[in-house]
Structure formats: C-alpha cells, structure tokens
C-alpha cells in the first residue's frame, strides 16, 4: 500500500479501538492506547496508537497532536526499561508498505532489546502466547 489512500476502518487497530477485537492493554487515556504486539520481535514488544484519528501514517497525523503521542511513547519506553531490565529499546514507526508498515493506522513500536538475544522476524510467525503477553503487560503497567 502506498502512502496515499483512504483510511480503512476495518483495520485491526481500528477494531481494537472500537472494542471489536481484543488486545492485551498496558495503558489507555483519552488520546492513546498502548498494548502488546501479538507478533513480538522481542519479549515486551508493544505498540502505542493514537485514538480519534484516521491517520494511516505519520504524515497524515495532525502536527499539534504529535507531542501527546510521543509523550505516551516515552512513558511506555521508560516503563518497559524499568519492568524488563532490558539493555536497550528500539522506538520505531513505519510509513507505507515499502517501509514495512502492515497495519495502516498510525502506530509506534517500542521494542526492548536484550544484548544476548536476537530480534525475531515481525509478523512472520505464529502469534505469541496470550498468557505470556498478559504477564509482560502487567509488569510494564506496574512500572508506569
């Protein structure tokens, strides 16, 4: 999918925001939802998505809302580091299919890195064990 196009309200993140699809929630406020990635590249891989938007990518998102979105990303990143004692953290965001975007609702990945563990392929395997995701989400939420 290119960078231009119409927002698909049937995308999985839109369904999650409407309560039509489940997620393992870490935190939520009026502006964002943070939850575990079902296809994690590392233990604790999570996402932050903005609410009340049809922005498919960063370029479509209102500039005056970026501060709120990235404040939530920073909050989640700090909690991930504290909860999981990781050695580093990747914060990344993809725009368009050629860049690696697979869900066309603006989202930011927070991926813990551990010095002795390689990253797993994203969206290439089977979904993670939900009990493991819930345990990780609980630890991260407690670190907020």
Q: Which tokens hold the place of 131? A: 């009990």
Among residues 105, 107, 109, 122, which one is catalytic?
107
For residue 20, count CB atoms less than 10 angstroms from its CB and return exposed for 0-12, middle for 13-18, buried for 19 or more.
exposed
DSSP bridge pairs for 50: 32
- Residue 6: CB partners within 8 Å, gap ≥ 6? none
Do 38 and 46 form a contact (C-beta atoms < 8 A)?
no
Neighbours of 122 (CB within 10 A): 17
Is residue 122 part of the annotated active site? The answer reads no
H helix or E strand, kind and range, residue 103:
none
Active-site residues, by number, are 107
């Amino acid at each position: 999918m290119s960078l231009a196009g119409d927002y698909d309200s049937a995308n999985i993140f839109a369904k999650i925001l409407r309560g039509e699809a489940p997620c393992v929630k870490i935190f939520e406020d009026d502006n964002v939802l943070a939850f575990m990635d079902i296809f994690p590249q590392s233990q604790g891989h999570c996402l932050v998505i903005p609410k009340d938007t049809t922005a498919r990518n960063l370029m479509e998102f209102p500039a005056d809302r970026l501060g709120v979105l990235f404040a939530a990303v920073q909050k989640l990143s700090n909690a991930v580091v504290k909860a999981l004692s990781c050695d580093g953290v990747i914060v990344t965001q993809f725009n368009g299919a050629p860049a690696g975007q697979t869900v066309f609702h603006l989202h930011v990945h927070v991926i813990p890195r551990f010095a002795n563990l390689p990253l797993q392929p994203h969206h290439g395997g089977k979904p993670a064990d939900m009990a493991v995701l819930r345990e990780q989400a609980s630890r991260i939420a407690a670190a907020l």
